[in-house]
Amino acid sequence: MVKRCIIQFLSGFLLLLFVSGCVQQSHKPLAAPTLLPGTDRSMLTAGYWISRHPSPDALVLTAEQIAGLNRHIEKGLEPAAAKISPGTGQNISWPASCSGRDIAIALQKDIDCLRAKPRYFSSGHLAPGAFYDRMIEDMDLAAINPIIDPAQISLGGVVVRFSDQRILPTWEPLYGDPSEVDFDDLQNNALEMGTPLLLLHQTRDMKWTYVCSPSSSGWVESRHIARCSLEALEDFIHPDRFVVVLRPKVDIYRNPALTYSEEFVQMGVRLPLIDVEENAYQVMIPISDSQGYLVRQQGFIQKNQASEGYLPYTARNILQQAFEMLNAPYGWGGMYGEQDCSRYIQQVFATVGVNFPRNSADQAMVGKRVAEFDPDTPEVFKIRSLDQTFGGIAVLYLKGHVMLYLGKAGFLPYTIHATWAYRAPDGYQDLTYKINRVVVTDLNLGKGSRNGSLLERLKSVRMVQ
């Protein structure tokens, strides 16, 4: 039972070691205007796009159909050569054993990839070879068991507070460009309270643990993890009742008067429901005891900030959730407790129970294909392809970036997405304008630049159904 139900965690190691956000820029950006080109203030609400939708309240998928879609998503993440395999949601299935040797090889490859290009500390100094040598020593790769057998070892864990997941076990950032600190090359993902984990290895000093979460693998501070058996982990992630967070950031309080905040969680997080009170949901939250083991305690979430169970999957609900995060800051790999393009899509669809993968390229494979384009595809054909879908249920993908389709205003297609910057032509050069937030834009953004517009770079359209 545990082996069947506890997450399809660890396949695609190399795929999940680096989570895709949005493409970095190479020169000093300018501040983007508050109202971006091609938009006006009326476009900045969900209602504007809901009013253009032919059936915003029609059920896109039932709960059973969403479960089927999630199974399809998980299956699509399993490479043929994978030794171990992760799932995308909170259902865990665990193989009879996995190769510790493969884990050690993957961790060594992380180091080798980082060494291959110049990386800089926040001081601006080049990271020397001695830094990587120290990381290898700290990771103690030789100590990884050749065969990891979950039937004999308690490998379960739960995140007890919002945690960054790192590619190396250090808070020291590394930058490809020391002048641009929004992109830490060691930032892999961000994990919410309640995220189930498999614990695979620890550093020599035991301060960092290498974990596999439902959507990524990396290093997390050990003090942010509560250890437990796989049976206890299964019990925690399969409650009879649960709530789903609906706001960008929601406080969890330790008292029903909602005056003592313990932690915050973000949109799409699911927590076991204990009871419903007049103004709050009483939920179960994971706590770590003095020995580092899981203890379950009660917490309280303001009632109007969460939903008992998932929202129905309708275009209205997706659009409303997407616009809840309008102007939320951009965060590469979840830096600063924010979101990049793929994490944004993942959070929005989590509110209706769709378990999107974390990587933008994987997200481009979710749902039914409407169209795929090569670089020579005429723009008019791309726009006609968009006419075959509707706002709120389609995801648009270009290399390194993913967006939620909103619909058309006039003849132009529009999207909402978390993005860092865009380029615009200025004589013989391009200027980069830093957006750094969730925004509404038309697909002409960037037109005339060397990179081209969003529409010119568009690679695929998928309906999430």
pLDDT score recorded for residue 148: 74
pLDDT category of residue 95 using cuts at 50, 70 and 90: low
Q: What is the pLDDT of residues 203-217, one digit of tens each?
A: 999 999 999 888 899
Q: What is the pLDDT of residue 3?
A: 35
Interval 217-251: pLDDT, tens: 999 999 999 999 888 888 888 899 999 999 999 99
Instruction: State the average pLDDT for the chain.
Output: 89
Residue 22 has pLDDT above 50, yes or no: no
Q: How far apart are CA 87 and CA 356, in angstroms?
A: 10
Question: What is the spatial distance between Cα 417 and Cα 72, in angstroms, rounded to a whole number?
Answer: 25
Predicted pLDDT of residue 79: 43
Sheet strand arrangement including 394-398: 30-31, 429-442, 412-426, 401-409, 394-398, 458-463, 368-372
State the Cα–Cα distance between residues 274 and 241, nearest whole angstrom: 8
Q: Are 457 and 396 in contact (CB under 8 A)?
A: no
In the β-sheet with 208-212, what is the strand arrangement from edge to edge? 187-191, 163-166, 217-221, 208-212, 196-202, 156-159, 225-228
pLDDT tens track for 288-306? 999 999 999 999 999 999 9
Which DSSP symbol is given to 336?
A: G
- Per-residue pLDDT tens digits for 332-363: 999 999 999 999 999 999 999 999 999 999 99
CB atoms within 10 A of CB 420: 25
Please tell me the predicted confidence (pLDDT) of residue 92.
54
Residue bearing tokens 């910057």: 421
The share of the chain scoring above pLDDT 90, in percent, equals 77
Q: What is the pLDDT of residue 27?
A: 63
Domains and CATH numbers, the chain: 1-240+311-465 (3.90.1720.10), 242-308 (2.30.30.40)
Residue 100: the pLDDT is 83
Question: What was the pLDDT predicted at 235?
Answer: 80
Average pLDDT on 456-464 reads 97
Q: Which two tokens stand for residue 230?
A: 């796989």
* Segment 380-394 mean pLDDT: 95
pLDDT digit string, tens, across residues 428-440: 899 999 999 999 9
pLDDT of residue 179: 84
Whether the per-residue pLDDT at 364 is higher than 90: the answer is yes
pLDDT at 145 over 70: yes
CA distance 16 to 335: 17
Strand-pair partners of 307:
244
Task: Report residue 93's pLDDT band, with 50, 70 and 90 as the boundaries.
Answer: low
Asked if pLDDT for residue 87 goes beyond 50, the answer is: no
What is the pLDDT averaged over residues 42-71? 97
Per-residue confidence at 170, pLDDT binned at 50, 70, 90? very high
φ/ψ of residue 310, rounded to 5: -75, 155
DSSP 377-396: --HHHHHHHHTTS-TTSEEE
CB 418 within 8 A of CB 344: yes
Strand pairing partners for 287?
295
119, 98 contact by CB (below 8 A): no
Distances (CA, A) of 204 to 68, 138, 279: 42, 6, 46
pLDDT at 19 over 50: no
CB half-sphere exposure, 339, CA atoms < 13 A: 29
The predicted pLDDT at position 262 comes to 87
Confidence of residue 180 (pLDDT cuts 50, 70, 90): confident
More confident residue, 275 or 101: 275
Mean pLDDT of 20-44: 78
Under DSSP, the state recorded for 309 is: S
Beta strands 208-212 and 217-221 are antiparallel
pLDDT digits 0-9 by tens, 148-157: 776 555 678 9
pLDDT tens by residue, 306-332? 999 999 999 999 999 999 999 999 999
pLDDT band at 189, cuts 50/70/90? very high
Give pTM, 2 decimals: 0.90
Query: For residue 152, what pLDDT is reported?
Result: 58
